[in-house]
Structure 1
Amino acid sequence: MSIKRYGVNESKGSGRQALPFAKATEADGWLYVSGQTPMVEGEVIDGGIVPQAHQAISNMISIVEAAGYSVADIMRVGVWLDDPRDFWSFNKIFAQYFGDHPRPEPVFNPQWSSTARSKLTALPFARRPDQNALQRAHPTKKWPVPE
């Protein structure tokens, strides 16, 4: 099994400092997405839970799609909320993105240390063709090699 890493050294924290991890890693059809906060250009956006939830979810979906997955592929979303009272507001925003593709209830973990009011992780799955099996089944065809 090989592991592919997306966005290595591209993640930026507060003050646009480089963060030492990948935005996502992929193995055997699974994509593990690093926690996404409501940041734009290394800074948490203002405005409270509603705009921050939109931004964090958009950041997460951008990574999922850049890796060739879709919202429909996401099996689990982990959610951290700074204030448990934001639960209902967050759920309204969450439903706008995932209402057509419901998944198990997100895992909520309140009160983590950050100025962001929300943070999300995702775990999409999409069966990818086994390149070796394809080559064995059709030895004369040239199959594209995944990056």
Structure 2
Amino acid sequence: MTEQQRTTISTNQAPGAIGPYSQAVQYGNMLFTSGQLGMDADGQFAQTASEQAKRSLLNVKAILEAAGFGMEHIVKTTVFLKDMNDFQAVNEVYASFFAEPYPARSAVQVARLPKDGLVEIEVVAIKS
């Protein structure tokens, strides 16, 4: 992979990285986002899992837009939940951000998320 093919994506419309990683990396027509927690650009968490899911997806959307992509370009998502009991509430919010054909998705419960978040979402997008 050459540096000309790989571009780091960053926007102040989503929280900055809290470690040695990029908000997203574009490689050709593919975009890979890092996991987005349910916090605003100032680092303030939303209160509930559904509110955090909404904030996480808004962060994803801002990163996509910074790279010239849209939500319709997402082909795969991974949803990390602190508690699988929040799945239905998160799923309702998630559904409001997507239209058919829906991206592929995995949803998993994890022991702990960074900063003790309730939801983290990462995506892969492809633009032709």
Gaps of at least 5 residues in structure 1 are: 14-18, 128-147
Structure 1, residues 33-86: CA drift from partner, whole Å, max 9, x if none? 111001224534142112111101101111011100011100001100000011
Matched residue, 2:77: 77
In structure 1, C-alpha distance between the alignment counterparts of 2:60 and 2:23, rounded to whole Å: 9
Question: Could you say if the C-alpha distance between residues 125 and 48 of structure 1 is closer, same or farther in structure 2, counting changes exceeding 3 Å?
Answer: same
TM-score, with length taken from structure 1: 0.74
> Which is bigger in relative contact order (C-alpha 8 A, separation at least 6)?
2
Amino acid at match of 1:7: S
Q: How does 1:1-147 map to 2 (within 5 A)?
A: 2-7=5-10, 11-13=16-18, 19-104=19-104, 106-114=105-113, 115-127=116-128
TM-score (norm: length of structure 2): 0.84
Larger Rg: 1
Count the aligned residue pairs.
120
RMSD: 1.9
| In 2, Cα distance between equivalents of 1:62 and 1:101 | 21
- Structure 1 126/46 Cα, relative in aligned 2: closer, same or farther at 3 Å? closer
